[in-house]
Structure 1
Amino acid sequence: MAHKILADTVASISELKKNPMATIREGDGEPVAILNRNEPAFYCIPAKAWEELLEKLEDLELAKIAEQRMGEPTIKVTLDEL
């Protein structure tokens, strides 16, 4: 059975257990596909990549809210009123 691997770097669970940080470094800041019996089991990503992903998801949610509010009337206020 063929499996789509969504990473340029792959490692086995055994490799990950032997040296987790070396496995992450091999990904050079990108996700590493962790294989179990030659099938992708999960993806291991560095903390910085995870933070960037969460920020992008938050931006998408905020953009959706902004789009929903585009047709609503505006309310003018001055800085003193805030």
Structure 2
Amino acid sequence: MNSILANYSASISELKKSPSSIIEDAGSEAVAILNHNKASAYLVPAQTYEKLMEIVDDYLLSKEIDKRLHDSSNLLEVNIDEL
């Protein structure tokens, strides 16, 4: 059985009837959208989504930094006095 990762849930039928009331009732929380009692989607507030995208972007950037730090084939030796 799959877990529902939200404190609020609504069926697709409820979402079709009144999407704004579902968003209003949940406040700043995510809402699990259920289809046959299984989560088929999550409705998250815009602010939460934006924060998640920042976290994903930071994570991907850190992976690229790690990759470049461990790739010694493109290293250039420089003298700090010459800079």
Task: Check whether TM > 0.5.
Answer: yes
Matches within 5 A, 1:56-71: 56-71=55-70
Give the alignment's Cα RMSD to 1 decimal.
Answer: 2.1
Q: Aligned residue pairs: how many?
A: 76
Unaligned runs of 5+ in 2: none
SS in 1 for 2:27: coil
Q: State the shift of 1:59 in Å.
A: 0.4
Aligned to 2:21: 22
Q: TM-score of the superposition, structure 1-length normalised?
A: 0.75
Aligned-pair identity (%): 39
Following the alignment from structure 1 to structure 2, what is the Cα–Cα distance between the partners of residues 57 and 75?
33
Q: State the shift of 1:74 in Å.
A: 6.6
SS in 2 for 1:29: coil
Aligned to 1:54: 53
Greater than 6 Å deviation, 4+ residue runs: none
Code of the aligned partner of 2:21: A
Aligned to 1:13: 12
Question: Which one has the bigger helix percentage?
Answer: 2
